[in-house]
Structure 1
Amino acid sequence: MRRALPFLMAGLLVVLSALPVLAQPTPAPAAARELVVATKVAPPFAMKRPDGSWTGISIDLWQRIAEKLGVRYRLVEEPTVDALIAGTATGRYDAAVAALTITGARAEIIDFSQPFYRTGLGIAVPPGDGSRWNVILRSILSLGFLQAVGALIGLALLVGLLIWLFERRRNEHFGGTRGIGASIWWSAEAMTQASTGVHTPITLAGRSLAILWMAVSIIAIAVFTAGVTSALTTSALQGLVTNAHDLASVRVGAVEGSSTIDYLVNEQIKYRSFPSADAGLKAMKAGAIDAFVYDKPLLAWIVLQDYGSSLNVLDIVFDAQNYGIGLPLGSPLRRDIDVALLDSVHSDWWKQTLFRYLGER
């Protein structure tokens, strides 16, 4: 009995030391309570029905994630993206679900899930994009047009000077200092296929250069004419804005507080801000601005629904962006949401969802 006593005492100590651990309550999972999820109207990613319920690409994705995680939630509407981010950053919301672009500045104050949609900026323009005379004037004053004109004038001056050098001693009309002007004028007449008059080069070198210049000038004028005609026709059909580079020379609109503003500021493009995309598009329709820049899928959806016959969205995408779900910094839900999100966007369900809202396959 005495020999067994030490073993009994040791076993009792082991049991007593384990009691505090066993007595500790198991921490409740972070998602046990009802989550507060903020959203904002951003068709087709977040749309509010007349009965107050929500639908859209982002909303459907969040509903699927919530089902996978078995969490309860309620949606809260905010008027702006800045309000979504501010509420999530302060912890008032457990998540922000809409068309929320992942940017460096936003990632400093909130966390983001894995991207679920890759897109970029788009440009909406009026049909015809300005009057015909504005288009023609802009084309004529463009750098390419001025460079082409300068090249033709430079060639005519060069040929005129060479003619003067070859003819100044044997041709009275091209002789002396005054002959320089006559030589250049002859070169210009020959280039435009106008009459060169009775005064022509008489030396072998002068006549050889004249023949060569007449042949070259025909080709040069033909190419120049074709280029100008093509440029004017293209501008008349496509308008003042055909790509992102054209934004620097027109009146641009953007939604205040959106990621579009960051792009325009970085590119040093002047812009006018509007409280919403609809307000900006109405201003463009009224002629107050020439182009409106916004997230491409959102812009395309609004134009298709409300401005299909009066505005166009260019078939370009620039400044690549990713949409994600916003979360408070250090959110314990982030890993579970990422797993459920990645599982969802790599499924046939996601393909069907994108096709239903956007027609994307």
Structure 2
Amino acid sequence: MERRRRTEPSPRVTALRRLLVLLTVAATATVAAATPGAAGTGTGDDRDDGAGGGDGGDPGSGAESIRMARATWDTGWFQAEVYRQLLEELGYSVESVTTMGNAEFYGAAAAGDVDLWANGWFPLHNTAIEEVGAKGAVEPVGTQVSDGARQGYLIDRASAERHDITSLADLADPAVAEHFDTDDDGKADLLGCQVGWGCESVIERHLDELGLRETVTHVQGNYAPRMDDVVERYQRSEPVLFYTWTPNWTVGELVPGEDVTWLDVPDGWPPNDIRAVGNSAFLDEHPPVRRLLRAVTIPLEDISAQNARMRAGEGAPADIRRHAREWIAQNRGQVDEWLATADPGRAQDGGPAGSGQNGGPAGSGQDDPAPTQDDGTLTVATRALAPFVVYSDGSYTGFSVELWRLIAENLGADYEIQQVNSLAKQIDDVERGAADVALGGLDITADRARSLALSQPTLDSGLQVMVASEEGSGIGSTLSRIASSRIVTWILWFAVIFGLILLVVGHIIWLLERRRNPDIPTDYLHGIPESIWWAVVAITPFGAGNNTPRRNLARVFAVGWILAGYFLLAYFTASITSTMAVDEIRGEITGPDDLAGHSVGSVAQTHGAQYLTARGLGPVLFDSPDEAYAALRAGSVDALVHDAPVLQYQAAHSGEGDLQVVGAVFEEFGYGVGSAYGSGLRQRIDVALLELVESGEYDTLYERWFGTSSP
């Protein structure tokens, strides 16, 4: 394919070349200093907060080390981190936590290559223990969650009630099954397990045993984006049918008993206990560890709440460590009892003070897919983040996805996209070799560079300010802004005070003139309104006309009232003028320098939130960009500060003309592509990216997603 090449490089090309040199030097220094291990050996969880991952608890260089693992599903990483920090409070040094599949862990634990993990599911994992011959060499200890870890099938509650569906077997009726048909083939479409998960064989067995092959299709594929589709269909009031487990974010989005209903399956999905599992010999040698594992319990509701936070954007490794620290702090009294039970000798001295989905529990020992498959296909770990990664109608698009497609063509490589729920999962998959590339909204920071080999920036980013457009805001937004201004407050206060004064003046005039002035009625009901009207017109340019006071005392009072009234009106006019002038000066937001004195919003756990907080500018935080846009349209906030590409995309494609981005980009940073150290991918990606920039293909793609023209 012939490429168009510029005679002279654009400023963006020049900047990218400079960054390539700088990043290459920085990465080389990082590798030399940090000496990252081969992909697949750890997660880097011990790097951010110190070896212990905590706020100052360090068991010391002489502390005995524990080799700990965690499961491949990131919905269980919070519990693993809680256990890790508790073990370090107990005085042990926990090595970098290794992510393992079920069979891999039980085999390694039986061989003594790893000591324990917190992610055992029983009775589900009994089969995996028997298959690898680990029975007798490993043992479950304690019960983290009792009889609450559940798997099974869910349908929307409306369908369950309308069609009286209580069991999976009810789908044998073609009329019932057709209700859940999404591809018009007349069969129910059941979102089930990803290929290779342990639940896959169980679901297949259910379909056979219940005779559902003719009425139900087991839909498989990448679970996370397909589950997003299920949630969207439910929000459109469409029927849904899917498999899931608890704890998981899915049951936070679609709550059993409220939004959805479990389906009965004969002998299908018994509730599981979540338990820690350790090498028996190791536990015998370390009674305090065994006693601690026996004592710890973590409420299912707390795990689900953390999973929801992780999915809402708090999914970086540092976030998960912070969640665990916060949970320990909130349950400090109970935690101290556990530690005292584990090591009675530390009860008085206190010990150290607070140390550190792909697949799911249904994975019966199947490891994650190999990163580079036998046919040379690269595995790309990504997460939904518009406009970088967008999953719709079973396929991926977005700026980062389309850019990667061009890069892959340049590399001559095939690839497969695997969507995950969190940034931590992206990083971990690449580090341990379950994926080759991490893609989509991956900001280039020193913390990321400790874990991944980052490419040169695929997108120059930064922060920008968004405001409501005056031209397209409509009468509703205009009235909302007027109603929220200080002018309205001044008018309301003046109306109240002026009304009271008129009431007093009217009564005085009526009392003085009712018997002498024929224009003032003597009866109260007619006289007071006439006197108040006189008080109003007396201080206006029209004057009181022929209706003048007759008594001398009333005339003296009238003169005083007219002078005072003129002063009152002058003061009101000056105040309104001053307020309007100040609002005019302060009201227009054209960039970050104009944010002071305004209500400013941002998305939680983002660069924008950090920027505003550091400068004392609030902020008002929202869980998602969509919530922030809605608040800006409603006038609840005056401006938003967020990632520039995200705001630019919203304004250009989804803003309906009522939102606009103002000012230049500030607090600049960049997004990149992550790969494992030692894989050799980073250099190839960098070269491919520069060629795309020089050929003009990058600019074309950029303008299509972030420019003024439609994609």
Q: 2:387 aligns with which of 33, 41, 44?
A: 44
**Are residues 1:70 and 2:421 paired?**
no
Post-superposition offset of 1:83: 4.5
Distance 1:316 1:231, change over 3 A: farther
**Are residues 1:299 and 2:641 paired?**
no
> Are 1:115 and 1:324, in contact at CA under 8 Å, matched by a contact in 2?
yes
- 2: CA distance between counterparts of 1:259 and 1:329? 26
Give runs of aligned pairs for residues 188-267 of structure 1, distance below 5 A.
232-236=583-587, 238=588, 241-267=589-615
Post-superposition offset of 1:113: 0.3
Distance 1:350 1:309, change over 3 A: closer
Backbone CA RMSD of aligned residues: 3.5
Q: 1:115 aligns with which of 448, 457, 465?
A: 457
Q: What do residues 186-236 of structure 1 show as CA deviations (whole Å, max 9, x unaligned)? A: xxxxxxxxxxxxxxxxxxxxxxxxxxxxxxxxxxxxxxxx99987643545
Q: What do residues 93-134 of structure 1 show as CA deviations (whole Å, max 9, x unaligned)? A: 321222322122322322210112213211222346973476
Query: Quick one: which amino acid aligns to residue 326 of structure 1?
Result: G
- 1: CA distance between counterparts of 2:446 and 2:579? 44
Give runs of aligned pairs for residues 1-361 of structure 1, distance below 5 A.
33-50=376-393, 52-127=394-469, 131-132=481-482, 232-236=583-587, 238=588, 241-359=589-707
- 1: CA distance between counterparts of 2:613 and 2:429? 25
Distance 1:233 1:267, change over 3 A: closer
SS in 1 for 2:664: coil
- 2: CA distance between counterparts of 1:251 and 1:83? 35
Query: Quick one: which amino acid aligns to residue 379 of structure 2?
Result: V
Provide the TM-score with structure 2 as the length reference.
Answer: 0.31
Give the gaps of 5 or more residues in structure 1.
Answer: 1-28, 138-225
> Are 1:88 and 1:96, in contact at CA under 8 Å, matched by a contact in 2?
yes
SS in 1 for 2:663: coil
Query: Quick one: which amino acid aligns to residue 349 of structure 1?
Result: E
Which gives a bigger RCO, structure 1 or 2 (Cα 8 Å, sep 6+)? Answer: 1
Query: Quick one: which amino acid aligns to residue 646 of structure 2?
Result: L
> Once structures 1 and 2 are overlaid, which stretch shifts more, 95-104 or 76-85?
76-85
> Are 2:400 and 2:440, in contact at CA under 8 Å, matched by a contact in 1?
yes
Post-superposition offset of 1:62: 1.0
> Are 2:463 and 2:607, in contact at CA under 8 Å, matched by a contact in 1?
no
- 1: CA distance between counterparts of 2:433 and 2:620? 32
- 1: CA distance between counterparts of 2:427 and 2:635? 33
Q: What do residues 233-291 of structure 1 show as CA deviations (whole Å, max 9, x unaligned)? A: 3545x2xx332134453333322333333433443443243332112212333444332
Post-superposition offset of 1:346: 1.9
> Are 2:652 and 2:706, in contact at CA under 8 Å, matched by a contact in 1?
no
Post-superposition offset of 1:91: 4.1
Q: What do residues 306-361 of structure 1 show as CA deviations (whole Å, max 9, x unaligned)? A: 33243332233111121211223444311111111221122122222223223379
Q: Which of these two proteins has the greater Rg computed from alpha carbons?
A: 1
Aligned residues: 242
Provide the TM-score with structure 1 as the length reference.
Answer: 0.56
Identity percentage of aligned residues: 32
Query: Quick one: which amino acid aligns to residue 656 of structure 2?
Result: G
Distance 1:106 1:263, change over 3 A: farther
> Are 1:116 and 1:345, in contact at CA under 8 Å, matched by a contact in 2?
no
Distance 1:31 1:92, change over 3 A: closer
Distance 1:124 1:113, change over 3 A: same
> Are 1:122 and 1:313, in contact at CA under 8 Å, matched by a contact in 2?
yes
Higher share in helix: 1
> Are 2:592 and 2:663, in contact at CA under 8 Å, matched by a contact in 1?
no
Query: Quick one: which amino acid aligns to residue 244 of structure 1?
Result: P
Give the gaps of 5 or more residues in structure 2.
Answer: 1-370, 471-476, 488-576
> Are 1:127 and 1:310, in contact at CA under 8 Å, matched by a contact in 2?
yes
> Are 1:122 and 1:317, in contact at CA under 8 Å, matched by a contact in 2?
yes
> Are 1:39 and 1:75, in contact at CA under 8 Å, matched by a contact in 2?
yes
> Are 2:652 and 2:707, in contact at CA under 8 Å, matched by a contact in 1?
no
- 2: CA distance between counterparts of 1:81 and 1:256? 15
